[in-house]
Amino acid sequence: MRTRTAKPRTTRWKTLVGLVLTALMLFPVYWMVNVSFTRDTDLRRTPPYWFPVHGTVEGYRAVLRQQLPYLGTSLFIGLGTVALTLVLAAPAGYSLAKLRPRGGGVLSFLLLIAQMIPGVVMAMGFYATYLKLGVLNTAGGLIVADSTIAVPFAVLVYTAFMSGIPNDLLQAATVDGAGRVRTFWSVVLPVSRNATITVALFTFLWAWSDFIFASTLDQGGARAPITLGIYHYIGNNNQQWNAIMATAVVAAIPATVLLVVAQRYIAAGITAGAVKD
């Protein structure tokens, strides 16, 4: 531990300030929850109720009635995007980190560049292509498009992580007679569990949150994802904000759950590539 620890009085003061700052930062989130429980008649009340005093779950009933299929679609697309991203990124990360393919540097460079392309541009290119192929409004099309948000990040995370695997470990496997595929499957992949969790988590969140691909490649189908559900909700009846906020609360559940159960992977993912390890 540190030689000089701060005095207990100072830390108590800091805890208090920290609580206030966090409360300020999270106020919009609280407000979203508060509005989601507000009765229709109280929505336009001034001043508003600061707590859901006459709380109602009417908003959530509306979500269950109208938004359930959207949630299902988002879940399916999220999981599909994770699967596609992992299948592409894990072997490539292994190769770039340990097998040193000729031209691997160019590939890494292209991946960095790929992360900088605005979603609007990709959406337009995909739209033109999908229209011709007739795969607009399909889950598969959306999975492929969503994966482009995650694949470059995923490969970079895997490469950075797998570079840290000791070569002795891989050699031991080779000496035992394992081929490269076996080594990858039964040594490299299990050891890279943390990288896989980080990648899967972010990929799922990004696919779940995607709006730009959903709104361009999946216009108004019955099986649209939840982000589009909210968007149409705002457009169609902008009076029922309790129902809109209830949908928003439900759409925020995956992020909240993942933050609670996997916080350290999230911090790892945000700093991946930004800070030298």
Partner 1 sequence: MRSTPPPAPPRRHGPAGRWRVQAAAWGFCAPLAAYLFLFYAYPLYRNLDLSLRDYTVRSFVQGGAPFSGLANYRKVTSDPTFLPALGHTVLFTVASIAVQFGFGMALAVFFHRHFRLSTILRALFLVPWLLPLIVSASTWSWMLNSESGVVNSVLHGLGIAGVHWLTSPGWSLASVTLANIWIGIPFNLVILHSGLQAIPADINEAAALDGATGWQVFRFITFPLLRPVSAITLLLGLIYTLKVFDIIWVMTRGGPSDSSTTFATWSYRLGFGNLLPAFGPGAAVGNLLILVALVLGLLYIRVQHRQDAA
Among positions 155-174, residues that touch partner 1 (CB under 8 A) are: 155-156, 159-160, 163, 167, 170-171, 174
Question: Of the candidates 217, 206, 215, which has an alpha carbon nearest to the alpha carbon of residue 125?
Answer: 217
> x-or-dash pattern for partner 1, window 68-97, by CB under 8 A?
-------------------xxx-xx-xxxx
Instruction: Tell the burial category of 24 from Cβ atoms under 10 Å away from its Cβ (0-12, 13-18, 19+).
Output: exposed
Among positions 35-54, residues that touch partner 1 (CB under 8 A) are: 35, 43-48
Q: Based on the shown chain and the rule CB under 8 A, indicate whether residue 108 belongs to the binding site for partner 1.
A: yes
Give the number of other CB atoms < 10 A from CB of residue 40: 14
DSSP string spanning 15-37? HHHHHHHHHHHHHHHHHHHHHHT
Q: How far is the CB of 6 from partner 1 (least distance, A)?
A: 6
> x-or-dash pattern for partner 1, window 201-240, by CB under 8 A?
----x--xx-xx--xx----------x--xx--x------
Determine which residue in the list 53, 110, 176, 237 makes contact with partner 1, applying CB under 8 A: 110
Token pair recorded at residue 38: 């507000």
Task: Give me the torsion for CA of 23, 25, 27, 30, rounded to 10°.
Answer: -90
Q: Based on the shown chain and the rule CB under 8 A, indicate whether residue 187 belongs to the binding site for partner 1.
A: no
Q: Based on the shown chain and the rule CB under 8 A, indicate whether residue 178 belongs to the binding site for partner 1.
A: no
Q: How far is the CB of 137 from partner 1 (least distance, A)?
A: 14
